[in-house]
Structure 1
Amino acid sequence: MADLQDELPTTADMPRLTPLPPYEAPSPPPPSPDSDPDHLFLARALLTAHPVADGYSGLPWALRHLPWYDLELGENALDTDIPRLRAGQAGALSCALHLPEGLAADPHPANLPDDLLAEIGAAQGLVMVPLTAEQTGPTVRDVADHLDQVRRVAGPHAVALSGTYDAGTAHPRELPDAASYPYLIAELLRRDWPHPDLALLTWGNIQRVLRATATTARAAQTRRAPSTASIAEPDG
């Protein structure tokens, strides 16, 4: 016990810690030239009842590269945190589903041709449109064009959103982070998307597919043991 100090150092003798920089709340994205306060109000009202189920988020991988973070108060180094999710009215995040999407007119190699989109729709599948500048364009209008096309070809029951935030990709100018979903829904309202189709887009379609997946998994458990194959084996 000889190494214990009889007298503790005074506050003045203690090393001073560098104060943490204050959290800066994210600025709202720049409005679209066609944005309408009434459409934005209606978008927020719709998302209150049918919040966004984001089909893909890179948040877990982004957190691995941060020495510390505070998702509750907000994190400047991320596209996704609790304040942004609340502002964007997102109700669920998926961090495992990262599937391609696309249009026949878009040359990006990860995008799907229209004939395959139609087959996915006929099979009651799901096409998740990524909010990335590389795949769907640099503006909210471009993203809405993709959603229009997938809805037309595959059907309103087969389209959902994949924010792809915190995945190292650039995003359209008006959709920089997870707080931006109301601006996209407002653009779709301006294009006369009916409310039932928007409810399917934000929440209903992903909910349907996940429920069907869970039902299929439970049924498969009674027929065979769990698979031990890796992803590389079925994919070759």
Structure 2
Amino acid sequence: MADLQDELDSPAEAGEDEERRTAPTPTDDTFPSDEPAPEPEPLEPDLRDALERARDLLAAHPVADGYSGLPSALRELPWYDLELGDSGLQTDLPRLRAGRVGAQFWSLQVPDPGAEGDRAVSSALEQIDLVRHVVGRYANGLRVARDASETTDARNCGRIATLIGPASARAIGDSLGALRQLHTLGLSSLTLAGTSWAGADGMTPFGEEVVREMNRLGVLADLSGASPATARRVLAVSKAPVLWTRSGARALREHPANLDDELLAEVGRTKGLCLVPFAADRTGPTLGDVADHMEHVRRVAGPECVGISGMYDTRSAHPGELADASRYPRLVAELLGRGWPEADVAALTWGNVQRVLRGADFTARAARERRGASTATIGRLDG
């Protein structure tokens, strides 16, 4: 299958087609989007006006989407073309441009441990290789970024910033050396759940050392799916802001990944970030349900602590009005219609993710002045 993919990819890699070679590269101060994708049905005048206002705002403050399953989805396809569009995906470049997306976190899914052994580390490496191959193939539209500066640079150059991660914590194989090498390859976020050192009972001493080393490197801690004990311990140990990349409000919908009001208040106190997912099982089956969760998180944690998680190209069902990556303006129009100040919407779409990325970078610079790479091992600390 790899040979087939290489053969079909080769024309785009060896020399882009004439249209792609001659396409101008936008250089203005706002996020380039060309013309919006055609709407599937005629729009009422009020909705048309609301979408126009939303697109104007997103031109200056594009969407930073906290969770995309595209790497795993692409691995399952024998062929794809993100520039022409692909009906087998919910994400491609035309839809990202229509959705006014400026940055995306591309998640790395690792297999559950099986009889053949845990392939988490090799799977993460394979997916990072795939991400870099895809970004290189579509360099006119995408650029790998690690931090706030590189994310902004990508946007200013007319590219969509691609941040690698979050990856399951099992991807480091209980090794801080593996964590450092994954970071060298571009890993920006790690989900701290599902390991012997980050479980239902909280963090072990080795787990706490993982968090400290992540702080030193600038790798963000993702706590979606983490136990309350783990989440609270990470909040106590981490000097950098932390993320929940796909969590809504438990007060509105009972789901293990959603946060209760007590934890949401803690997110606000520590200036973390809760990225509300477009997922029917977590936030509900309608656009209004998603907006309700965002309003609840904004009210409890604060407007600087809420963001967007599209969860496209995962196995999650999406509200019909948010069916693919072109639909972010619909959400923004809904929030503006509910009376959200433009400053709060701009923080939701772009500013809050940038703040967290800057916080991680600042923490890393300070930490590297105080300490070198940790030599801790799980056997020595947890044995």
Give per-residue Cα distances to partners, 1:9-52, cap 9 Å, x unaligned.
xxxxxxxxxxxxxxxxx874679999622111100100001000
The whole-number CA distance in structure 2 between the counterparts of 1:229 and 1:78 is 42
Aligned to 2:273: 126
Distance 1:33 1:229 in 2: 61
**SS in structure 2 of the partner of residue 171 of structure 1:** coil
Aligned-partner SS, 1:111: coil
- Residue 100 of structure 1: how far off its partner (Å): 3.0
- Greater relative contact order structure (CA < 8 Å, 6+ sep): 1
Paired residue for 2:28? none
The TM-score with structure 1 as length reference comes to 0.81
Q: For residue 172 of structure 1, what is the aligned residue in structure 2? A: 319
Measure how far apart 1:73 and its partner are. 1.2
Q: Which moved more, 1:112-121 or 1:27-36?
A: 27-36
After TM superposition, the structure 1 = structure 2 runs for residues 58-77 of structure 1, keeping only pairs within 5 Å, are 58-77=69-88
Q: Distance in 1 between matches of 2:251 and 2:54?
A: 29
Task: Tell whether 2:339 aligns with 1:200.
Answer: no
1:30–1:173 contact (8 Å) kept in structure 2: no
Distance 1:32 1:108 in 2: 34
Determine what percentage of the aligned residue pairs are the same residue. 58
Contact 2:264–2:300, Cα closer than 8 Å, also in 1: yes
**Structure 1, unaligned stretches of length 5 or more?**
1-25
The answer to whether the Cα contact below 8 Å between 1:35 and 1:186 also exists between their aligned partners in 2 is no
Deviation of 1:229 after TM superposition, in Å, equals: 7.3
Q: Any residues of structure 2 matched to 1:129-168 within 5 Å, and which?
A: 129-168=276-315
What are the superposed Cα offsets for residues 100-121 of structure 1, whole Å, 9 maximum, x if unpaired? 3323232111100011101101
Tell me the amino acid that sits aligned with residue 174 of structure 1. E
Q: Hey, which of these two has a bigger chunk of strand by percent?
A: 2
Distance across 1 between alignment mates of 2:42 and 2:285: 14
Instruction: Give the total of aligned pairs.
Output: 207
Distance 2:346 2:377 in 1: 35
| Maintained 8 Å contact 2:253/2:284 | no
What's the CA shift string for 1:163-199, capped at 9, x where partnerless? Answer: 1101111101100010000000011011010100000
Equivalent residues in 2 for 1:187-226, closer than 5 Å? 187-226=334-373
Q: How has the CA–CA distance of structure 1 residues 115 and 35 changed in structure 2, closer, same or farther, with 3 Å as cutoff?
A: farther
RMSD: 2.5
Relative to total residues, which structure has the larger helix share, 1 or 2?
A: 2
TM-score (norm 2): 0.51
Structure 1 counterpart of 2:247, from 70, 87, 100: 100
